[in-house]
A and B are shown apart, each in its own frame.
Chain A
Amino acid sequence: MLKSIDLSGVWRFQLDKEKKGSDNPCPILFICREQLLIIKKAKKTKSTKLRI
């Protein structure tokens, strides 16, 4: 491999329980990194910007 570029870090994130949206990406609301923990927090902290 010539180079690897780490993409972990700050990501925008949104839950979408209903729409699978296979044609177009969904608009993104807020930011997170630790996906698992954040998803669980998300329901309580909706629309809050998080940076881990």
Chain B
Amino acid sequence: MTEEYTFEGYAWYSREFEIPEEYLSKPCFLYLERTRKTTVWINNINKGSQNSLCTPHIYNITGSLHSGANTVTILIDNTDYPTKGGHMTSPDTQTNWNGITGKIELQIYNPVYLGDVQIYPDIHTKSVRIVSRIEGADGGVLKVSAEGIGKENKHCAPGKQFLLTNNNILIDYPLGEDALLWCEYHPNLYKLKLELMRDGFVVDNKEVIIGLREFKAKGDKFTINSRKIFLRGKHDGMIFPETGYAPTTVSEWIKVFKIAKSYGINHYRFHTCCPPEAAFTAADIVGIYMEPELPFWGTVTDEGDENHNKEEQEYIVNEGFLILKRFGNHPSFVMMSLGNELWGSKERLNQILKMYKEFDNRHLYTQGSNNFQFSPVILENDDFFCGVRFSKERLIRGSYAMCDAPLGHVQTDMPSTAKDYDDSILPPIQSQEIGVDSSKTIEVQYGMGIKKVSISPEDELIPKIPVVSHEIGQYSIFPNYAEIDKYKGPLKARNFEVFRKRLEEKGLLDLADKYFKCSGKLAVSCYKEELEAAFRTKKLAGFQILDIQDFNGQGTALVGILDSFMDSKGLITPEEWRTFCSDAVLLARFDRYNFIAGQDFSAHIELCYFRDIPLNTIDFSWTLKEGRKTLKSGCLNISDFKDDNYINIGSINFQMPDVSVMKELTLILRIDSLNIWKTYPLWVYPKNVVLETERVNIFDSISCEALRLLEKGQNILIVPRIDRLGNKVKGFYCTDFWCYPMFRSISENMNKPLPVGTMGLLINNSHPVFKYFPCKEYSTYQWWNIVSNSCSVIMDETADEFRPIIQTIDNFERNHKLGMLFECKVLNGKALVCSCDFNALVQYPEGKQFMFSIFKYVQSEEFRPEVFLSVSDLRRLLD
């Protein structure tokens, strides 16, 4: 995203106002809900400066107003913050705007009034502890009452009066035995009314929206009100491209959360930012577990540490206290993180955690998200751990950037549904394996750059607190250029315009929509594989996906099934997404997707279940279908569960049908009583496929014999040795991680291997070459072994109309035309080129079937390439 007009500097805002005479002598505060660094003048008298990025600026202007016109002038500076501010100020997300969002108001009080009010719920006594302070006097009477709000909560708590003898308020107010608790399923809220009375008159009143809830860590899971939950989290950088800033109205946030919830999300982790109050209020209403994060992405230091910036460090810590004080009453505010990918003093981090925990025990705390990267630690005061690995090899997510290799199982492993992270979280044999050599300096990714850090081996890290996998996914999708017109606000999709122009210059613009849809389908399947692995992992407490929504900064990371406006890209429906991202996920564990006819198929069926409705019995059914035709089916009924959350339903076993031609089948799992289902595609290939090699002229280069045959008008198949091809991109099934330009650049700077950077296949699947190898237009698991034993030829120099039969979709930076299978007329003959390793392919049923289909095609009348290539052009391609 690009701001149409950027402004970083000092902006002055001023207006006149009048207030009724009777308020002139009262305590008065100027309230600026959300802003940058401010300095305020009232009637030309300086009232001070404030700099919180996360919480309101509140100026005491008591006694500064007079009758008639008053002038308020505010200088807002969006430069030189005490800290960089992460996604509170980043141009990558909500932009570094200048101004004030939300409420701008004068708040006037009686001379005696209630100060800050903090509410501490206790679900065991069904009461709340009210902590506040009387300003302007000592003592009084506090009348307290509470009534349920919303459709579900009609409960009212009886009013009660408390005699106060000094200005400190600390009282416990019972809501009653039948008070309702707050959770994601039943976000029951109460309006707590406080009336401060003196001498029989109400001098102040306050209403606070509260929820009775207890959010705890218990073993490897979080609990809400003593019930275990699993966090299905979403990263959020507060991306609102229509305005360039986070909304401050509850209705706008409700809309956002409801969309997220329709995709199974129950948790928001705000990356280096804290949302406005409206977001917490909306999350209270919708039922979302919120985790704001301090606006810090750097190194935490203490006095005496190298490069210690006292002002910045104090600012960050204070910002945390302000967040807790301002938003801590919201029941949805359950967790807090000290920052993103922090380094520095572990002692100081531990101290900060301790201070926050002592200050506010309503939330759980973590030292940060993915701190210390390759060498994470768990601190004494950590309530939970959020990261991507426990050592270099103990990985807990499916994909990584090349500079952070080793890569993840979704990127490197032959597809199966067997992967989980339990052994990575808790190794069965706790070895001394540590991912790094003894004490040394290594380079790590640090934001969008790199950083040198010293690490030393420590004992193997065994978590005894809940583990949340950090920023999982990041599967890249080609841009949808139709989105450009949606940017009608201050932000423009200049990035998209640049990418589109590059594609146009390569003569491929007409394929943009297919690139988008095919890469999108691949990304969806990668997300499915990764999310299922998370749901299979019994020792995981949750995940934070990056993201269901596009992230338009940091090089442009189009990783969402929703665009940056939270609108669907049309790649998958919420209902289908929820089959692998919800509170009840049916899972089949099996070791591969491709089978030979008659082979045994075996799968273990599990249910990951975190709904709040206890299960008594499970009636599970399965069917194996070819199109609409049911081939096999069965059911399992169980009623005795050892575990309430990870339920072993049983095994299904059957023999694959004895097909004479290749078939794609669908395994459907279902529990109707829970209204959940799941589908897996399976491929079955005929037995005894005979490759008619002797009937096909196969060459690995354009040899003299090949030319002779072409001259004679014959057909040839060229299968170049992929290790000898120079003009190529390596075959890589998984779509690119995050975005190519960013991690290409980081890898280059770290002198590490570059990412492959491709985004799956675009297949002309109606082409007759696929007569015996039917397929979709996009990558599916029948292609995994084929792609992994292939490369794609860079065909940029060929005519625009020359399109490979199988294209590999390149990223938006390079926009290469990449061909894995293409055909052409040469001399008087015809050539089909397939840049796969046939010696490897023949070992797999799907590879052999693909070769079979190719061989049949080359011999057929249907082999009729349209484009002519000269011998020299073809040689250039295959050099």
Contact = CB atoms under 8 A, between A and B. Distances in A.
Q: How large is the interface on A (under 10, 10 to 19, 20 to 34, 35 or more residues)?
A: 35 or more
Contact of A21 (B10, B26, B97, B108): B10
A9 B106 CA distance: 13
Contact of B106 (A4, A23, A41, A43): A4
Nearest to B489: A37
Nearest to B73: A25
B7 A15 contact: yes
Contacts of A37: 243, 489-490
Given A17-B9, A40-B3, A6 B26 contact: no
Q: Describe B's contact surface by its main secondary structure.
A: strand
Contacts of A47: none
B585 to A, nearest CB: 41
Interface in B815-837: none
Interface in B1-55: 3-15, 17, 19, 23, 26, 30-31, 39, 41, 44, 46, 49
B236 interface: no
B75 A25 contact: yes
Interface string B96-136: 01111101111111100100000000000000000000000
Contacts of B205: 1
Nearest to A44: B5
Nearest to B95: A36
Interface residues of B, number: 51
A10 to B, nearest CB: 7
A9 B204 CA distance: 28
A10 B811 CA distance: 47
A11 B7 contact: no
Given A36-B244, A36-B245, A41 B5 contact: yes
B77 interface: yes
A20 B10 contact: yes
Contacts of B101: 35-36
Contact of B11 (A6, A15, A24, A41): A15
B418 interface: no
A36 B684 CA distance: 58
A7 B9 contact: no
Contacts of B109: 1-2
B108 A9 contact: no
A35 B9 CA distance: 14
B603 interface: no
Given A7-B104, A17-B10, A36 B243 contact: yes
Interface in A1-48: 1-26, 28, 35-44
A26 B26 CA distance: 29
Given A14-B11, A42-B5, 8 more contacts: A1-B107, A4-B105, A7-B30, A13-B12, A20-B75, A36-B97, A40-B4, A40-B244
7 contacts: A1-B205, A4-B105, A5-B19, A12-B12, A16-B12, A17-B10, A39-B11
Interface of B: 3-15, 17, 19, 23, 26, 30-31, 39, 41, 44, 46, 49, 72-73, 75-77, 97-101, 103-110, 113, 204-206, 243-245, 489-490
4 closest cross-chain pairs (CB), A and B: A35-B99, A17-B9, A40-B5, A25-B73
